[in-house]
Structure 1
Amino acid sequence: MLVFAKIKSVQQKIESLKKGTTVGFVPTMGALHKGHLSLIERAKKENDIVVVSVFVNPTQFDKQEDLINYPKTIEKDLSLLKSVFCDLVFAPSAKEIYADNITSQSFNFDGLEFQMEGKFRVGHFDGVGTIVKRLFEIVKPTKAYFGEKDFQQLQIIRNMVKNHKIPIKIVGCEIFREADGLAMSSRNARLTEAHREAAPFIYKTLKQAKVKFGTESALDVVNWVENEFEKHPLFKLEYFEIADEETLLTIKNKNPKQKYRAFIAVFAGKIRLIDNISL
């Protein structure tokens, strides 16, 4: 496994390997867990070489406190990447990516950016679009792999690739969960013992909402979920929405021809957890 910190070096290496080969790319912000490793393992199966980036992107944090507190575990990350036979790692500094101008580009994601997360994290998706587009330009992969836990982000990246005519196939991968159902996240390590023990309640509620959605209206399901969280002493619900998978617009009436997904964001103390489920 080769590790690079400089754009020119990683590009030269990829170019030297690329003739007639396919390149799978997994962008990460480090603090790796089994969910990330599952993306890498899939990329290994579908490509000749796999590149993983480890970069905590400053422009996608709407709160400086979150950027400061985001776990940075590069030595552990490199050990995990070696264990799944990653080929190349790109771990640049912020200066290498942004030079002296750590700002986001402005994007038009056709309204996807204003739904759910976009209502609570201003500028977040411009930051995501900026770094993902930049990494795509550097790595030039055949396929790029993203987890469905950040489903809105996945749809936004698909939209960016389409609108900017970037010749990369975006592959969405199923949410990787702990044995008790909690969606794997780098933030889980920061949960208190009590919050971690109670956290499976989130996915359990999503699964019950899915069952209810089969026979009840979207509004009734939303009201039921909100009521369940009002009764829970350890969690504060930020939002629960049922939306169209393509447009991410909140639905009012069900249409059997449409695909829907339920999205949730919950505060467990100071730690914000997100999850979703296909309906």
Structure 2
Amino acid sequence: MHSVHTVAQLHEVLADFRRAGDRVALVPTMGNLHAGHLALVERARELADRVVVSVFVNPAQFAPGEDFEEYPRTLEADRERLLEAGVDVLFAPRTGEMYPDGVGAVTVRVDRVTEGLCSGTRPDFFTGVATVVTKLLVAARPDWAVFGKKDYQQWVTVRRLVRNLLLDVEIEAVPVVREEDGLALSSRNRYLSSAHREMASGLYRALRTAVRTGENENLDARGVEREAWTMLEAAGLDPEYTEVRRRGDLETVTDLQGPRVLLAAAHLGGTRLIDNLEFGSPDRTLEDSGSCR
């Protein structure tokens, strides 16, 4: 496995691959890798001849007072896991490499799909995500980039920026990877105390129960949201939002007729958890498959 730290080094390695006719998939991460990340790597290996994984804790997506300094950095352990997973290139740039004129010198903003949901408490988050993803796609020029649906709003945002910036890359999605009790895998789960870890699975249970109740009792979208909120509180979590949106593009909806996704964020102690559950009948007019160019 090649380990590179500069865009020039990355270009040199990828040029050799492309001269051999190999196609490339990119998996962007912030490191501290877990089984969810490795599921993305596995999908990338299915798609492409060569797999690049980036490890970069992006300062542009952290607001003041968030956990940028505390965010777990485990590069050597990540390197070992990626080597075992058959990754071809680890790209671990420093901040100055990704932001040569400083963080915020150039930004990428995506409208509509970034409104509400996580933007309610993290207003600059998706601009930071869109900016760093654009930089990674320009640097690696992959044929595919693979993202997880656990960060659903982020996945939709990336799809929109690729479409509108006319980037020649296919965005592939991987379903949420969960623990046995349903908790979505996240690098921030390590912040949970043992007591809060036992409670955290209540987030996924609340989503499942709310969707099931909505379908059985013919509720509208607001009814499902209220049901999820009540379930979260009953499980001891502090809800931040529960919202039903249209699947694939996050348009607001009032009913459950068609492809829907219930998204939620909640807090346990100092840990913020997010999750989502897709439901409803498919609609072939939507770009709702796992991939899009």
TM-score by length of 1: 0.95
Question: For residue 32 of structure 1, what is the aligned residue in structure 2?
Answer: 33
Q: Which amino acid aligns with 2:99?
A: Y
Q: d(CA) in 2 for partners of 1:222 and 1:174?
A: 22
Question: For residue 65 of structure 1, what is the aligned residue in structure 2?
Answer: 66
Q: d(CA) in 2 for partners of 1:251 and 1:13?
A: 46
CA contact (8 A) 1:60 1:124 kept: yes
Q: d(CA) in 2 for partners of 1:41 and 1:75?
A: 20
| 1:11 lines up with 2:11 in the alignment | yes
Q: Deviations over 1:21-60 (max 9, x none)?
A: 1101100000100000011011111110000000000001
Q: d(CA) in 2 for partners of 1:153 and 1:232?
A: 26
CA contact (8 A) 1:104 1:126 kept: no
Out of 218, 221, 227, the position equivalent to 1:218 is 221
Q: d(CA) in 2 for partners of 1:231 and 1:39?
A: 33
TM-score by length of 2: 0.91
Alignment of 1:52-201 (within 5 A): 52-103=53-104, 105-201=106-202
Question: For residue 259 of structure 1, what is the aligned residue in structure 2?
Answer: 259
Q: d(CA) in 2 for partners of 1:230 and 1:38?
A: 31
Q: Runs of 5+ in structure 2 lacking a partner? A: 280-293
SS in 1 for 2:11: helix
Q: d(CA) in 2 for partners of 1:197 and 1:136?
A: 38
Instruction: Choose 106-115 or 31-40, whichever is displaced more.
Output: 106-115
The count of residues paired between Structure 1 and Structure 2 equals 276
CA contact (8 A) 1:59 1:104 kept: no
Distance verdict in 2 for CA 1:231–1:179, change over 3 Å: closer
Instruction: Choose 209-218 or 182-191, whichever is displaced more.
Output: 209-218
CA contact (8 A) 1:148 1:172 kept: yes
Q: d(CA) in 2 for partners of 1:51 and 1:96?
A: 17
CA contact (8 A) 2:110 2:130 kept: no
Question: For residue 43 of structure 1, what is the aligned residue in structure 2?
Answer: 44
CA contact (8 A) 1:105 1:126 kept: no
SS in 2 for 1:113: coil
Which structure has more helix as a fraction of its residues? 1
Once the two structures are TM-superposed, the CA of residue 106 in structure 1 deviates from its matched residue by 4.2
Instruction: Choose 245-254 or 144-153, whichever is displaced more.
Output: 245-254
Once the two structures are TM-superposed, the CA of residue 67 in structure 1 deviates from its matched residue by 0.6
Once the two structures are TM-superposed, the CA of residue 250 in structure 1 deviates from its matched residue by 3.1
**Identity of counterpart residues, as a percentage?**
36
CA contact (8 A) 1:53 1:91 kept: yes
Q: Runs of 5+ in structure 1 lacking a partner? A: none
CA contact (8 A) 2:63 2:122 kept: yes
CA contact (8 A) 1:104 1:130 kept: no
